[in-house]
Amino acid sequence: MLAQGAGAEIVDTIICKRARPDAKLYVGTGKAQEIALAVQANDIELVLFNHNLTPAQQRNIEREIKVRVVDRVALILDIFALRAQSHEGKLQVELAQLQHLVTRLTRMWTHLERQRGGIGMRGPGEAQLEMDKRIIADKVRMLKERLGKLQKQRQTQRRSRARGGAFSVSLVGYTNAGKSTVFNALTAADVYAADQLFATLDTTTRKVWIEGAGSVVVSDTVGFIRELPHMLIAAFRATLEETIHADLLLHVVDAASPQRDEQIAEVDKVLEEIGAADIPRILVFNKIDLTHLEPGVERDERGTISRVFVSATERLGFDALRGAIVEASQAEPVVVSSIDNDDPRFRTQSPSVSPAADARS
């Protein structure tokens, strides 16, 4: 899914099972030779690893197979660069790309020099690598300053909304769970929604009137994924703050996904990392039109709504979702972040591969 989202044509898939990664090549000498033969036989231009490689491992495997290698982190960064539309989104992606690039500069020529001008930047006896790092460090500092200004603007906007007494709701979830489609159905908005990974990178906020809750501010946010690169989380901090400061999180789940339980756990992990683990949460099972589930709500042992079942494309279950938001706006905060695995309706077989594992190439 990641490879196709980046526009790659999958020619061959090679799976390697090891007790631990090889320190030099990650996959071992024999498997590297197998990959090299597949590259030659199929005229392959690019090899994707569905794992995070160290800079040394990436260089070593490239020498072995004689074509360019892209690991999972670089692939996700590439998709983010492809999807970014707003000025802030592009700045955040560029910052993450530069922070990833700086660890992989060895023996690379200065390809950023034209952006900043090379005259007067070379110190006496300064190595090319050090100059590259200094150029990137200056660029990173400039991007952080710009993002800092945008972060202050967001804080001002949030304070303004808070003074208006609006209840704030943020949609979170695994990428391609249908958050933007739920957002459109809930707010009558028309934000971009597509059946692809990371269709949404920019936070969109709309104010909607819900009878019983009054004015509600709803925010659509970037999707999460397994092993989301830490530099992306750091770069998108300003965007993710909409989630941190929400009164209620609607955790949108792809009810039809065979990796549903694992995806829920991955989102919970990211929410904890960004400091949003204690915000009241409701699981919104989307895409029920592709399952046997019916629209409606389920309550936990305390009588609090913990799950809502909807179909955003068919506009099913949204009266129940609005009712859940009303109830949450009037109730004491309760964190709901897990599913009942003893309930046979939510029991799924453990997949033989982890989420997004079909991104191997």
Annotated binding-site residues for Mg(2+) read: 180, 200
Structure tokens at 123: 């110190």
| CB 288, CB 255: distance < 8 Å | yes
Give the residue numbers of the binding site for GTP. 173-180, 198-202, 220-223, 286-289, 311-313
Q: Binding site: which residues?
A: 173-180, 198-202, 220-223, 286-289, 311-313
> What is the rounded CA–CA span in Å between residue 198 and residue 222?
7
**Residues near 230 by beta carbon (within 8 Å), at least 6 away in sequence:** none
How far apart CA 82 and CA 99 sit, in angstroms, is 18
Nearest to 79 by CA among 7, 185, 11, 151: 7
CA atoms within 13 A on the CB side of 267: 31
C-alpha torsion sign, points 284, 285, 287, 293: negative
In DSSP notation, 150-207 reads HHHHHHHHHHHHHHTT-EEEEEEEBTTSSHHHHHHHHHT------SSTT---S-EEEE
CA distance 310 to 181: 11
Complete edge-to-edge strand list for the sheet that includes strand 167-173: 204-210, 214-220, 167-173, 248-254, 281-286, 305-309, 296-299
DSSP-derived secondary structure letter, 68: E
Please give the helix or strand (H or E) that residue 251 lies within, else none. strand 248-254
Q: What distance in Å separates the CA atoms of residue 278 and residue 333, rounded to the nearest whole number?
A: 9
| Distance of alpha carbon 174 from alpha carbon 192, whole angstroms | 17
Tell me the one-letter amino acid at 20: R
Asked if residues 216 and 208 have their Cβ atoms less than 8 Å apart, the reply is: yes
HSE, CB side, 13 Å, CA atoms: give it for residue 244: 14
Q: How far apart are CA 305 and CA 317, in angstroms?
A: 14
